[in-house]
Amino acid sequence: MAATPKLYLYDTASCQQFAEVEAQGLDVFFPDSVRGWADVLDCRIPPYDSRTLEENCEYATHVRKFYILVAQSQIPETPE
């Protein structure tokens, strides 16, 4: 069985990581403070998956989403 990739919510106002979320199959489990997909833009799919976190956060604010959902592979690596 393939490992489920880690998923993260980013706050669109600050473009900072808000929470790690779990998924089981197609179901994504958000923290209690998130109302669900009404608050979240899924950036794991085209055309969002090829944009930067900053671009997705900016777009999400225009469509009144408070968070973006991204896979770990979409987060740029930070040098240590």
Alpha-carbon gap, residue 55 to 57, rounded angstroms: 6
Determine the pLDDT at residue 1. 46
DSSP bridge pairs for 16: 11
pLDDT in tens, 31-74: 999 999 999 999 999 999 999 999 999 999 999 999 999 999 99
Determine the pLDDT at residue 5. 77
Kind of pairing, strands 67-71 and 40-42?
parallel
Alpha-carbon gap, residue 63 to 48, rounded angstroms: 13
